[in-house]
Amino acid sequence: MRWPLMVGLPGAALLELITASTILPALTYGSTIVLYLAVRGRLGRRKGAFDLGRFELPVAICALVWTLVALFVLVAPREVLVPVVVVAGLLCLGGLYFVAVLTLDRRALETEPGDVDAFTR
């Protein structure tokens, strides 16, 4: 029963929330593509697995360009200044949390979730 929240928010605040929630996935997709392009040479290939062959790099570059165009369309209008600031703030908070974990509990970054044995070593 989420509709009371939508009724309670003013129209501009709801639009800003929707805009911010479309910017974050586009950033996630773009960062995934950039990371893939950075490590694709080191990835192993399995026989019989799906493979784009020689079209792998052009498809990845087209996907990155598409994501950048989508991000530009989302953040170009002046009206989206508040959602962009919200997204930037969330990214800064996430970065600060990552740095804190990196400095205070690096072991948490070196294990996978559910790896109980890693914490008993």
Query: pLDDT (tens digit, 9 = 90+) per residue, 45-83?
Result: 788 888 888 898 999 999 999 999 999 998 888 888 888
Query: pLDDT (tens digit, 9 = 90+) per residue, 8-31?
Result: 555 677 778 888 888 989 999 999
Query: What is this structure's pTM?
Result: 0.67
What does the DSSP assignment read for 59-97? Answer: HHHHHHHHHHHHHHHHH-SGGGHHHHHHHHHHHHHHHHH
> How far apart are the C-alpha atoms of 116 and 121, rounded to whole Å?
9
- CB atoms under 10 Å from CB of 113, counted, come to 5
Could you tell me if 19 and 80 are in contact, meaning their C-beta atoms sit under 8 angstroms apart? yes
> How far apart are the C-alpha atoms of 23 and 81, rounded to whole Å?
12
Distance, C-alpha 111 to centroid of its chain: 21
Q: Which residues contact 16 (CB under 8 A, 6 or more apart)?
A: 80, 82, 83, 86
